[in-house]
Amino acid sequence: MSFEFIKKLPTPQEIREKYPLSEELAAIKKARDEEIRKVFTGESDKFLVIIGPCSADKEEPVMDYIHRLAKVNEQTKDKLIIIPRIYTNKPRTTGEGYKGIATQPDPEAKPDMVAGLIAVRKLHLRAIEETGLSAADEMLYPENWDYINDLLSYVAIGARSVEDQQHRLTVSGFDVASGMKNPTSGDFSVMLNSVYAAQHAHHFTFSGYEVRTTGNPLAHTILRGAVSKHGNCVQNYHYEDLVRLSDMYASMDLVNPATIVDANHSNSNKQFKQQIRIVREIMMSRQFSGDVKNLVKGVMVESYLEEGSQKISDHQVYGKSITDPCLGWEDSEKLLYMIAELNK
């Protein structure tokens, strides 16, 4: 047999009982969920900013970063809803490399899935407890969802996962905003079909059970750019792309048409400083067209304490990405205030 069964994982219930969400924190998270829901239903004109490191690699610098976000959130709360990006799983195109804190809680040590699942839950709990900001995470592995499903206010499905049926059906059982990225090919139809699947009811197997879902009306699209057959990045954040997506939404049986624009990845060709210009263009497009304004509910930005990125080593810079390069805090803070000013 080609599998080596290393150890049995604790159940989600066991870890949740050991690291519980208090009633007070659950109420904070519920209020955040409702505030975010109103953005997607059109009841609120606030703008979502999902911002943070490419990968949440270590607890202390991530929490340092979120505390800084919380201060800006307080200053901009009439215009923005800031959602910390606490991404604990890192998708790898070839399967090689650091796969996130859920797999490798110490980037310099060997993988430890049990310690990783605990580290993920503790980090998300700490963010809510210390700052009141419930966060976003990417669902790379649907089987891990139950370990943190009471903590997240936003879930993203990545470009490599969005065509997978289990991911689509699992999202149909969520009660929080869930973004479905365009695939790396850039095909809008594939992306919208994933939203259709997520918004409708299904009957399938999940976490060892036969289950039935009711559909998630807060499922929506995320534009992250594409890669052509020649390996070149193709942007899809321009005004014409947004109008096209709005028209395609109108032709489908979907509720709450919405998109979040990912300013990095193929939209920036991973030139992280370009995120500033890209976000400004998106805000200008919203001001030019009412339809675009109604469609674009927020942006995603990759940002950390220090700009750029670094390799994993025993002399790492505190708060600098060990995966994709990110904006530094100074630029990020200015960007957040700019977004608030341009949300008219």
- Please give the single-letter amino acid code of residue 23: E
pLDDT at position 96: 86
DSSP state, 256? S
Distance of CA 81 to the CA centre of its chain: 14
Residues 6+ apart with CB under 8 A from 180: 157, 162, 168, 171, 191, 194, 195, 198, 219, 220, 221, 222
Strands, E assignment, the chain: 47-52, 80-84, 135-138, 152-157, 177-181, 203-206, 209-212, 219-223, 226-227, 233-234, 259-262, 296-302, 306-309, 320-321
> Would strands 226-227 and 233-234 be described as parallel, antiparallel, or unpaired?
antiparallel
pLDDT at 188 over 90: yes
Q: Could you identify the residue written with the tokens 């624009």?
A: 261
Predicted local confidence at residue 92, as pLDDT:
86
Which residue is it, tokens 């009982």?
A: 17
pLDDT digits (tens, 9 = 90+) for 137-183: 999 999 999 999 999 999 999 999 999 999 999 999 999 999 999 99
Per-residue burial over 92-114, b = 16 or more CB atoms within 10 Å of its CB, e = otherwise: eeeeeebbbbbbbbebeeeebee
- Residue range 100-128: average pLDDT? 96
DSSP 313-331: -TTPPTTEESSS-BB-HHH
Q: What are 285-341's pLDDT values in tens digits? A: 999 999 999 999 999 999 999 999 999 998 999 999 999 999 999 999 999 999 999
d(CA 123, CA 128): 9
pLDDT over 90 (residue 37): yes
What mean pLDDT is predicted for residues 204-219? 97
**C-alpha distances in Å from residue 27, one per residue of 23, 34, 132, 133, 170:** 6, 11, 10, 12, 24
Integer distance in angstroms from the first to the last C-alpha of the chain? 60
The model's pTM: 0.98
| CA nearest to 168, candidates 142, 136, 207, 189 | 142
pLDDT of residue 1: 63
Q: Which two tokens stand for residue 173?
A: 């059982």
Summarize the confidence of residues 192-198 as an average pLDDT. Answer: 98
- Domains of the chain and CATH, by start: 12-342 (3.20.20.70)
Q: How distant, in Å, are the alpha carbons of 135, 170, 276, 344 from that of 88?
A: 11, 18, 24, 33
